[in-house]
Amino acid sequence: MTSVDDVRKEMRKLEEIRSDFYALLDVSIPKDDKGNFDFSKDATIDAEDVYKNFFKLDYQARKIRGLLMEARDIHPK
């Protein structure tokens, strides 16, 4: 069975990956006066970088889902 400490470790890793993903967006997409992404301006973003970062984020989320299901003995229907 998955320990709570293992889940916490993977959650911290998810937060790091999420921060990296948003850092990529922050440097690639201009922001408006309120600090929101402004997609109406010329955003320069590398699709391969977006894919790689999103894949890491998605993989980690799916990994945590499995750990939580195991830790709580949840069986999909």
Confirm whether 30 is domain-assigned.
yes
Confirm whether 76 is domain-assigned.
no
Q: What percent of the chain has pLDDT over 70?
A: 97
Confirm whether 34 is domain-assigned.
yes
* More confident call, 68 vs 20: 20
Structural domain harbouring 59 = 4-71
> Is pLDDT above 70 for 77?
no
pLDDT of residue 22: 93
- Give CA–CA dist 14/17, Å, rounded: 5
Q: How many CA atoms lie within 13 A of 6 on its CB side?
A: 12
Give me the chain's average pLDDT, please. 89
The domain total for the chain is 1
